Amino acid sequence: MDRRTLREITGLTDPRGRVFVVSGPSGVGKDCVLDGLLSHPLRLPGLCRVVTATTRSPRPGERDGRDYVFLSHEEFMRRRSAGWFFETAQFGSNWYGTPRDALDAVCTSGSDAVLKIETQGAAAAKAQIPDAVLIFICPPSLDALAARLSNRATETVEALQERISQARVELERAAHYDYVIVNDDLAQAVDALRAIVLAERHRVARSSLESGTRDGAAIGAAKE
């Protein structure tokens, strides 16, 4: 008796975890959407968030190791030079980066990794992992984003204007992503992100398709 699973028989088994990259302007609610995904009543198994490292100061309520890995500028640069990061990007005067070891640990275990990365870093991630899934979360409007940032009351007027200007640039890059989610309603945004993860888990790997079409006899034989 053949005890192999259907995915093993069809050759679609891939032990590596997928990489989901989530980006969006500051204040759009990326953390809220990700928290909603990971705490969903029907939580998807094998889905792990890789915590980003940053040089910015913690905001009220943020905890080191849970929200971010908070590093001094000197320590961040030291680790960057040592190749400690999978990708890095500068946003204003602050640096952000994804710890390489943490990402490797998740993917080699077979779990899917969720990264919250700035648009600069997302491009670098895609260059290194071509099949990474890029998801952009955008606000219903720039006015709505400005209101969210203002209500957060964590920036000066100058910093607020800088973030709005940066948001315009980031929104122009949304067309380069695989999916776009408008965070107008948090519950709907969480459901949309969850649906994307589910759909990608059922996608036939491009490499499998290409290997099959290169060998036309393999597909032809299946029809006979």
pLDDT in tens, the chain (224 residues): 556 555 555 555 566 799 999 999 989 999 999 999 999 988 899 999 999 999 999 988 899 999 999 999 999 999 999 999 999 988 878 999 999 999 999 999 999 999 999 898 898 899 999 999 999 999 999 999 988 888 877 777 888 888 889 899 999 999 999 999 999 999 999 999 999 999 999 888 654 444 443 343 333 444 34
pTM confidence score: 0.82
Contact (Cβ atoms closer than 8 angstroms) between residue 135 and residue 23: yes
Q: Which two tokens stand for residue 82?
A: 């040592």
Measured distance CA(59)–CA(61) in Å, rounded: 6
Q: Domain 17-202 classified CATH 3.90.1010.10?
A: no
Q: How far is CA 140 from CA 27, 53, 172, 190, 206, in A?
A: 12, 28, 14, 15, 33
Distances from the Cα of 97 to the Cα of 80, 140, 155, 206, angstroms? 8, 27, 22, 28
C-beta separation of 34 from 135 below 8 A: no
Q: In terms of C-beta distances under 8 Å and separation of at least 24 residues, what long-range contacts does 71-78 make, across chains too?
A: none
* Angstrom distance (rounded) from CA 12 to CA 51: 30
Where in the chain are the domains? 17-202
At 4 the three-state DSSP class reads coil
So what's the pLDDT on residue 220?
40
Residue 120: per-residue pLDDT: 85
